[in-house]
Structure 1
């Protein structure tokens, strides 16, 4: 497969996964902002997606002050924000168009329809369409694309690069969401907020729901959600689809079957990451400091992405 084709398939998948992940992030922040905020107005929660994606300074440079409606629109539908959900879907559609002959009709129709629909939503306005409805719509479109992909495309290198992009993006998102929520909980702990309080329960529950892992948590653990079991579930459980361990397992499996010897640096890196997760316990992670451990692994995911780019996606 040509590097340019592999790159378009890979980034098509990454942008679609990124759009879904941002919708999940936005949904949980918006829902939590509706809760009592101890005298605050919920702007901290709505600003969380901007902090996680590193776009808060860009927002402030354009709008000058924190405003809930503008922040939501900037993150979701702003065409001039390169990391907005709108921009991600546009980039995914452009990549899909470039490899129209390598994906199935069902896949293309799903992406194209999603792009046309979000343009209509942008014209209508998020306030009129509804934030929760928008996030559910985007998750549904993402599910439909994955179903169309899994059910219609041949199990060849095109399929593998699509899946590779999905799991690289998903691993990064899980780490960032967990880190952001843990940092907020740590700040609250300094204000003497009990970890077993109702506020804590809703924070951890919202994170689990954002990662479609709440039902898995209730099946594995009996206690209310807290830092240790939530981190263990989202980092080390291979049977939880959006966990870090599940993502690295899939990436390792995909890279191991891609042809050629150029991919050895990426294969070696992900094998080391997978072994690290396989033989690490949650107590070791917490002892090292969860925030520090998560940030180190985010850097490892970034380095793995760079190795994949060098090995497979650079045009030679």
Structure 2
């Protein structure tokens, strides 16, 4: 497969996953802000969403106010924001069109129709009254494309590159969300163990669509260490770090089988996967959750760079 085509499939999936993750964070920010009684506290919640997505500096360079409508419109549709959901969906469609002949009609149509629907929804500023409708549409779009991919694509190199893009993006997002919880979302050490702390852990789970699954496994008990274990080490949860790396192992293995050799990316993936398998939550907290997550984010970035180099992606 040509590097340009592999690059297109890979980034199509990364942009779709990133758009959905951003929509989930906006939804959490909106509901958290509703629980705050004063504007400063509400603005801090919205600022935390920008921090999690890595856009707080760019936003602050253009705006001085962190009010909800201004922040979520910036994240969703601002023309000056190259990382907006609208731009991400456009990039996903552009990459899909570039590899159109490698995709089934179902995958292409789901991507293209999603872009058109969201372009219409985001043609005008989003209000709080219709924010839920917009966020639901973004999440649904990711689900439709993944469903078409799973249901209609051959399990070949195209499928493997698409899945690799999804799970690298998902692993990075889960790690960043969990890291920000300790350094931004919790306003003060004095709040640890309080009702506010529990609410924020619950919203953290909601941001990765894990609140129902966690409740099933833990009878609804909001234990910070248990939640960290769930998001990092639970192999049953499809957004945990362990789960993502198991899928990366499978799909990179598929590429090795198809091409007849492994690359440097396989070694990086295997090393990180084995590290996760050896890790315990006690060991993570003893070393430091922030330090562990920063190391993991660095490893995942290194893996993405190695894949691009090994398979000759062309930007």
TM-score (norm 2): 0.94
Q: Aligned residue for 1:59?
A: 59
Distance 1:273 1:61, change over 3 A: same
What is the correspondence of 1:296-311 to structure 2 with a 5 Å cutoff? 296-311=295-310
What do you get for the CA RMSD once the two structures are aligned?
1.9
Q: How many residues align?
A: 313
Q: Aligned residue for 1:229?
A: 226
For 1:37 and 1:277, locate their aligned partners in 2 and report how far apart those are by CA, in whole Å: 41
Q: Aligned residue for 1:12?
A: 12
Give a deviation string over 1:8-42, Cα, whole Å, max 9, x none: 00000000000001111111111111103577340
Q: Aligned residue for 1:32?
A: 32
1:124 aligned counterpart, secondary structure: coil
Q: Give the conservation status (yes or no) of the 8 Å contact 1:182–1:227.
A: no
1:126 aligned counterpart, secondary structure: coil
| Residue ranges of structure 2 left out of the alignment (5+ in a row) | none
For 1:34 and 1:193, locate their aligned partners in 2 and report how far apart those are by CA, in whole Å: 19
Q: CA deviation at 1:194?
A: 4.1
Distance 1:39 1:157, change over 3 A: closer
Structure 1 stretches of 4+ moved >6 Å: none
Q: Which of the numbers 228, 237, 248 marks the counterpart of 1:251?
A: 248
Distance 1:314 1:40, change over 3 A: closer
Give a deviation string over 1:229-252, Cα, whole Å, max 9, x none: 011000001111100000001001
Q: Give the conservation status (yes or no) of the 8 Å contact 2:52–2:177.
A: yes
Q: CA deviation at 1:206?
A: 1.1
2:27 aligned counterpart, secondary structure: helix
Distance 1:282 1:307, change over 3 A: same
Which moved further from structure 2: 22-31 or 41-50? Answer: 41-50
Q: CA deviation at 1:145?
A: 1.0
For 2:229 and 2:48, locate their aligned partners in 1 and report how far apart those are by CA, in whole Å: 23
What is the correspondence of 1:149-228 to structure 2 with a 5 Å cutoff? 149-184=149-184, 187-189=187-189, 192-195=190-193, 197-222=194-219, 224-228=221-225
Q: CA deviation at 1:67?
A: 3.0
Q: CA deviation at 1:3?
A: 0.8
Distance 1:71 1:38, change over 3 A: closer
For 2:170 and 2:301, locate their aligned partners in 1 and report how far apart those are by CA, in whole Å: 12
Q: Does 1:238 align with 2:241?
A: no
TM-score (norm 1): 0.94
For 1:248 and 1:96, locate their aligned partners in 2 and report how far apart those are by CA, in whole Å: 24
For 1:315 and 1:140, locate their aligned partners in 2 and report how far apart those are by CA, in whole Å: 30
Q: Aligned residue for 2:79?
A: 79
Which moved further from structure 2: 24-33 or 126-135? Answer: 126-135
Q: CA deviation at 1:77?
A: 1.0
Which moved further from structure 2: 234-243 or 219-228? Answer: 219-228
Which moved further from structure 2: 262-271 or 134-143? Answer: 262-271
